[in-house]
Amino acid sequence: MRSVLHLVLHVAVPAAIAWIFFRERFVKAWLAMLAGLVVDVDHLFADPVYDPGRCSIGFHPLHRYPVIGVYALLAAWPRLRSFGIGLIVHMALDGIDCAWMSFES
Ligand SMILES: [Zn+2]
């Protein structure tokens, strides 16, 4: 249940943000934000690759705080803004997932 909701949010939240802030180029902005999901390739270096009970923030190489700072810089740079925002949204959603996990356990 939680993982399904998480996946849905990973697609729906960027769509909502693209709709609210970048409506005149909605599809482009949405796709740029979805491209932020590529950072999940770092899960491939983890063992097991997917563990629904693991918090990815701070665990995977592309989900660490210094890297998140780089994402914020990308979001501040107009050419890469929607991509950077997508990455930050991704980290926020993963973070919410971690918080949710700690409530459950
Ligand atoms: Zn992630």
pLDDT digits (tens, 9 = 90+) for 29-75: 999 999 999 999 998 888 888 787 889 999 999 999 999 999 999 99
User: What's the 24 CA to ligand 1 centre distance in angstroms?
Assistant: 28
Q: Phi and psi dihedrals of 54, rounded to 5?
A: -110, 140
What is the tally of structural domains in the chain?
Answer: 1
Q: Is the pLDDT of residue 105 over 70?
A: no
Q: What is the DSSP letter of 60?
A: S
| The predicted structure's pLDDT at residue 14 | 97
Q: Is 58 left (phi over 0), alpha (psi -120 to 50) or beta?
A: left
Residue numbers of the domain that contains 63:
2-104
| The predicted structure's pLDDT at residue 2 | 76
Q: Which residues contact 73 (CB under 8 A, 6 or more apart)?
A: 84
Q: Is the pLDDT of residue 4 over 90?
A: no
Q: What is the CA radius of gyration of the chain?
A: 14
User: What's the 13 CA to ligand 1 centre distance in angstroms?
Assistant: 14
User: What's the 22 CA to ligand 1 centre distance in angstroms?
Assistant: 23
What pTM was estimated for this model as a whole? Answer: 0.89
